[in-house]
Amino acid sequence: MSRKFVFFDIDGTLYDTSVNIPESTRESILQLQENGHVPLIATGRAPMMFKDLRETLNIHSYVSMNGQYVVHNDQVVFKNPLDKDKLRELVMTIEEKEGPFIFLDHENMVSRLKEHPRYDVALNTLGLPFGYRHDPEYFKERDVLQGLLFANKSEYNDILDHYTDDFHFIQWHDVCMDILPKGGSKALGIRHLIKTLGVDIKDTIAFGDGSNDHEMIREVGIGVAMGNSSDALKGDADFVTAHVDDHGIQKGLEQLGLI
């Protein structure tokens, strides 16, 4: 078998429903490496949110922030910030209806409001070892790679529909959505990373479970949906492995003959 490059989502894929790495997953990633294949990460998280995971699994190349910040061997190979003028316009319009935002680059998570109850409701599901800091002017001065709007899309459909030519909105929690540049996705990040690696797309595989994984699952040579995925993602996948809490990574890699 030729060498395969295997992209793993984090939440609901590498991390189980308790936001831990199952021992079977840890052992499977090690076996994958020993068998000559290359595990990589493709996540919506910013790099500072999964530093410990990278060290635990010895993974140094990844697609982060839903494709907006891509790293190979700890060196940045691609970043794709949001348009400052359009972002400012969106924020000012949403804030007329009191919508709360957090903005991220590769090392900062900064809130527009000092606090908001929805911040904790959504962010607590990620099990982060740190919090956000407050700076209402941050997004005006720095390159923002990803925005978080703490709302359900239905609350702002009339506004968001005016910005579909500028941004891509991904609802990942009942009260939180990602804001990416138009065309931004994990698939875009994967294209940039495999170009750097000199890898053919047919030699790529991806495991995912979430609403931000559709493009990735369709892009790669073999797309694998976790058993805990939505029916829509399962429909995009080449096959479905077991639930993340039922050794889904191990069983999927075994089915592929990689371990």
Q: Average pLDDT for residues 224-248, to the nearest whole number? A: 98
Q: Give the tokens for residue 205.
A: 């595989």
Cα angle for residues 248, 250, 253 (degrees, 5° grid): 105
CB contact at 8 A, 149 and 101: yes
172-195 pLDDT, tens digit each? 999 999 999 999 999 999 999 999
Q: Average pLDDT for residues 115-122, to the nearest whole number? A: 93
The verdict on whether 9 is a catalytic residue reads yes
Asked if residue 129 has pLDDT above 80, the reply is: no
The per-residue pLDDT for 141 is 85
Contacts of 52 (CB under 8 A, 6+ apart): 129
Q: Average pLDDT for residues 200-207, to the nearest whole number? A: 98
In 60-200, which ranges are E strands? 62-64, 69-72, 75-79, 101-104, 109-111, 133-134, 146-149, 167-173, 176-181
> Percentage of the chain with pLDDT > 90?
93
**CB atoms < 10 A from the CB of 96, how many?**
8
The per-residue pLDDT for 56 is 96
In 114-246, which ranges are E strands? 133-134, 146-149, 167-173, 176-181, 204-208, 222-225, 239-240
Please name each of the domains of the chain with its CATH number.
5-79+184-255 (3.40.50.1000), 84-181 (3.30.1240.10)
72-93 pLDDT, tens digit each? 999 999 999 999 999 999 999 9
Catalytic residue, candidates 9, 105, 209, 213: 9
Q: Give the tokens for residue 65.
A: 């922030």
Q: Which range, of 9-18, 110-119, 234-243, averages the lowest pLDDT?
A: 110-119
CA distances from 209 to 73, 79, 146, 231 (A): 26, 24, 20, 10
To which residue do tokens 């940039």 refer?
Answer: 192
Q: What is the pTM of this model?
A: 0.92
What is the Cα–Cα distance from 161 to 137, expressed in whole angstroms? Answer: 25
> Percentage of the chain with pLDDT > 70?
100
Q: Which range, of 2-16, 17-31, 123-137, 231-245, averages the lowest pLDDT?
A: 123-137
